[in-house]
Homo-oligomer: A and B are copies of this chain.
């Protein structure tokens, strides 16, 4: 994890802000979180990793942003229960079916962004992009007293909307 504010915090401590004062200084800390997704519509549970990041950051009160650097991954907060994950698949099958015609997949007419990162089949994911537009690229969770204020059933997920490749997320916290 990058602990960007460490130096500033120390210099502050050195120059007259005594031990107890370093707590109040607002800080920004961030880390990249990488994993390999394993299935289409996989709900990758990030909760423990984000919680560890918050703990190590030393920030007591603030906001933690969980951000996807992709265009076919969604970040969500919901319950971890296998039924919901399968039910959501059914909903998407109905409203954004993979089998429909998508111009994004039609290499006879498409002219933009034809260099794919992980093989030609990854370009043919019009349904994934349309689904992401109906979801969200990040979620923000409040941190109080050094911990995320998640409700009883809340878990943080990265939902794979295409499939099976290395994914890179960013956890970023700002607070004091």
Residues of A within 8 A of B (CB): 1-5, 8-9, 11-31, 53, 56-57, 60-63, 65, 67-71, 76-84, 86-88, 90-91, 94-96, 100, 102-106, 109-113, 117, 126, 129-130, 132-142, 144, 149-154, 159, 168, 170, 172, 174-176
Contact = CB atoms under 8 A, between A and B. Distances in A.
A79 B113 CA distance: 9
A137 B76 contact: yes
A103 B86 contact: yes
B9 A29 contact: no
Nearest to A112: B81
Contacts of A81: 104, 110, 112-113, 129
Contact of A78 (B65, B78, B129): B129
A154 B60 CA distance: 31
B25 A2 contact: no
A164 B79 CA distance: 19
A4 B130 CA distance: 36
A26 B26 contact: yes
25 contacts: A1-B56, A4-B27, A4-B176, A8-B23, A8-B24, A12-B24, A13-B22, A15-B20, A16-B18, A24-B25, A28-B61, A28-B176, A63-B65, A63-B172, A67-B141, A69-B154, A77-B137, A77-B138, A78-B132, A78-B133, A81-B129, A84-B129, A91-B130, A137-B139, A138-B140
Query: In the complex, which of the residues A5, A109, A113 has the most CB atoms of chain B within 10 Å of its own CB atom?
Result: A5
Contacts of A129: 78-79, 81, 84, 87-88
